[in-house]
């Protein structure tokens, strides 16, 4: 879903990126010292493209984007670079960032209740976003709010405008939040676990809606999820995060067909087979370490079945995988494990269709 129709003139690759995050670090003030939670993250998204960002809870998926948007608060030190359409965002004042947030860059969360104001009617909240980002007021704002609610699949839109968030279901509120995000006509939508709190059927509907809207508006999307089924269904490219780093990056196709990093292989191997019996999934043993308690060297080493002494020497950097120029992984043991048979429980083609069944097996 990238740009087509480019001239034959050579352009550096970066120019294609709507957002280009380089070497992003986050340090949290934890009283008497700082602890590093993000260790130099590189991510990029082209116009119209969906980047899936996946990893277990606590890997740094959310703070990456909160850091980019200046939403981490005073206790966090952010450095590195995040260029949005050529404009550096890191280091902007809160006031300068407000011009981007909710406008050209919109954000939706897992929990719409936390983003919607419980004491204001839906219509007023959407109208306020329209005033802020598009200067619409009065009848024009009301009409556009109704159109947006209609567009996100809320029936009786005119009537719903007069309701409060608590009168709507979780799925409906998520649609309202998407409508508010669309109010600013964003070039980039950051969707952070947008369907995690919803049941499987509603989840599928919301993802379909996001896909349709994206095709219509050509907005780019960062889709954050701990659910590989969602990522397989939606993403063009995928960045896998672990303990504050990107540890593998590839096209969705390459990632699901030829996962390289032992962590990615573990995540994919833990998915249920759609044809097989339903059973509780065996996740990768252990848990993501806290930022203050990383093992020396590779942060995944204490959970990795391929660990060797060399893994403790230092954190591995991303290197190209198997001669593919758009597939990289951060593991010093890649050569040794590459040839080993990967016993994938699921094939990517199945993943796309089994999403609805995933919720039953995966403990979020
Ligand atoms: N304000 C904060 N202060 C200290 N640590 C934090 C703060 N916010 C997040 N963290 C830590 O940063 C790490 C990454 O968090 P997060 O990005 O929320 O993970 P994810 O979204 O991948 O589940 C976690 O270990 C989390 O505990
Ligand atoms: Mg998160």
What's the pLDDT score for residue 364?
Answer: 34
pLDDT band at 357 (very low <50, low <70, confident <90, very high): very low
CA distance 70 to 92: 8
Ligand nearest 192 Cα, by number? 2
Question: CA separation (Å) from 293 to 173, 287, 297?
Answer: 38, 12, 12
**What confidence score (pLDDT) does residue 113 get?**
76
Q: Which residue has the tokens 């670079």?
A: 81
CA count, 13 A, side-chain hemisphere, 258: 17
Q: Which domains does the chain have, with CATH numbers?
A: 17-104+186-364 (3.40.50.300), 114-185 (no CATH)
More confident residue, 58 or 284: 58
**How much of the chain exceeds pLDDT 90, in percent?**
71
| CB 269 near ligand 1, within 6 Å | no
Residue 356 banded pLDDT, cuts 50, 70, 90: very low
pLDDT value of residue 271: 64
Q: pLDDT for 61-101, tens place per residue?
A: 999 999 999 999 889 999 999 999 999 999 999 889 988 88
Give yes or no for residue 145 having a pLDDT over 90: yes
Ligand 1 contact via 61 beta carbon (within 6 Å)? yes
- Ligand 1 site-directed mutation target among 60, 61, 192, 196, most atoms within 8 Å of CB: 60
Query: Got the DSSP string for 140-157?
Result: HHHHHHHHHHHHTT-SSH
Q: What distance in Å separates the CA atoms of residue 135 and residue 187, rounded to the nearest whole number?
A: 18
Beta carbon of 55 within 6 Å of any ligand 1 atom: yes
Q: What pairing do the DSSP bridges indicate for beta strands 87-88 and 105-108? A: unpaired
Question: Considering the entire predicted model, what is its pTM?
Answer: 0.88
Q: Ligand 1 centre and the CA of 54: distance in Å?
A: 15
CA distance 347 to 147: 40
Task: Give 339 or 196, the one with higher predicted confidence.
Answer: 196
* Residue with CA closest to ligand 1 atom 24: 58
State which of 55, 58, 68 you would mutate to test the pocket of ligand 1, scoring each by most atoms of that ligand within 8 A of its C-beta. Answer: 58
Cβ of 173 below 6 Å from ligand 1: no
Going through the chain in order, the beta strands assigned E by DSSP cover: 17-29, 34-46, 50-54, 76-84, 87-88, 105-108, 188-192, 220-225, 237-242, 245-251, 319-321, 324-329
User: What is the 73 CA–ligand 1 centroid distance (Å)?
Assistant: 13
For residue 37, which ligand has an atom nearest its CA?
A: 1
Residues 255 and 303: their CA atoms lie apart, in Å, by 20
pLDDT 10s digits, 150-163: 999 999 999 999 99
pLDDT of 342: 54
Half-sphere CA count of 98, side-chain side, radius 13 A: 5
Say how many Å lie between the CA of residue 247 and the centre of ligand 2. 17
**pLDDT level of residue 340 (50, 70, 90 thresholds):** low
Q: What is the mean pLDDT of residues 50-65?
A: 96
Q: Which one of the ligands is nearest to 288 CA?
A: 1
User: 221-256: per-residue pLDDT in tens?
Assistant: 999 999 898 999 999 999 999 999 999 999 999 999
Amino acid 254: pLDDT: 94
Pocket test for ligand 1, best of 37, 226, 231, 245 (most atoms within 8 A of CB): 37
Q: Does ligand 1 have an atom closer than 6 angstroms to the CB of 58?
A: yes
Structure tokens at 127: 């109208």
Can you tell me the distance from the alpha carbon of 86 to that of 104, in angstroms, rounded to the nearest whole number?
Answer: 13
- Higher confidence at residue 300 or residue 281? 300
Q: In the predicted model, what is the mean pLDDT of the chain?
A: 86
How close is the Cα of 58 to the center of ligand 2, in Å? 7
pLDDT of residue 233: 92
173-209 pLDDT, tens per residue?
999 999 999 999 999 999 999 998 888 899 999 999 9
Q: Taking the CA atoms of 290, 292, 298 and 302 in sequence, report the sign of the dihedral they define.
A: negative
Q: Is 41 helix (H, G, I), strand (E, B) or coil?
A: strand
d(CA 185, CA 103): 7
Per-residue confidence (pLDDT) for residue 362, from 0 to 100: 37
Summarize pLDDT for 13-37 with one digit per residue, the tens. Answer: 555 799 999 999 999 998 889 999 9
Between the two ends of the chain, the Cα-to-Cα distance in Å is 30
**pLDDT tens readout for residues 248-263:** 999 999 999 999 999 9
Atom of ligand 1 nearest to the CA of 193: 21
- Mean local confidence (pLDDT), 270-298: 75
> Parallel, antiparallel, or unpaired: how do β-strands 50-54 and 220-225 relate?
parallel
Q: Which residue did the predictor score with more confidence, 356 or 131?
A: 131
% of the chain with per-residue pLDDT over 70: 85
């Amino acid at each position: 879903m990238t740009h087509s129709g480019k001239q034959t003139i050579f352009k550096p690759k970066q120019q294609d990126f709507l957002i280009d995050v380089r070497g992003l670090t986050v340090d949290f003030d934890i009283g008497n010292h700082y602890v590093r939670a993000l260790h130099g993250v590189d991510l990029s998204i082209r116009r119209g493209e969906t980047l899936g960002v996946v990893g277990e809870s606590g890997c740094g998926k959310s703070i990456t984007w909160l850091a980019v948007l200046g939403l981490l608060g005073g206790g966090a030190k952010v450095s590195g670079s995040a260029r949005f359409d050529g404009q550096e965002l890191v280091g902007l004042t809160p006031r300068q960032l407000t011009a981007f947030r909710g406008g050209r860059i919109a954000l939706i969360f897992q929990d719409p209740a936390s983003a919607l104001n419980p004491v204001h009617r839906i219509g007023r909240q959407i109208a306020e976003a329209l005033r802020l980002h598009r200067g619409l007021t009065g009848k024009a704002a009301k009409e556009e709010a109704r159109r947006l609610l209609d567009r996100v699949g809320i029936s009786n839109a005119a009537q719903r405008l007069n309701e409060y968030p608590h009168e709507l279901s979780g799925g409906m509120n998520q649609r309202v939040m998407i409508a508010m995000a669309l109010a600013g006509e964003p070039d980039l939508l950051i969707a952070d676990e947008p369907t995690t709190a919803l049941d499987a059927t509603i989840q599928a509907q919301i993802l379909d809606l996001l896909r349709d809207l994206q095709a219509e508006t050509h907005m780019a999307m960062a889709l954050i999820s701990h659910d590989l089924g969602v990522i397989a269904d939606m993403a063009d490219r995928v960045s896998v995060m672990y303990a504050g780093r990107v540890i593998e990056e590839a096209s969705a196709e390459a990632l699901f067909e030829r996962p390289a990093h032992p962590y990615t292989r573990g995540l994919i191997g833990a998915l249920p087979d759609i044809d097989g019996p339903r059973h509780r999934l065996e996740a990768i043993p252990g848990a993501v370490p806290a930022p203050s308690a990383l093992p020396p060297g590779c942060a995944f080493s204490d959970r990795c079945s391929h660990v060797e002494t060399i893994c403790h020497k230092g954190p591995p950097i991303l290197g190209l995988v198997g001669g593919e120029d758009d597939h990289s992984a951060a593991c010093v043991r890649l050569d040794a494990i590459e040839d080993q048979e990967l016993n994938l429980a699921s094939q990517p083609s199945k993943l796309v269709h089994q999403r609805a069944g995933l919720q039953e097996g995966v403990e979020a």
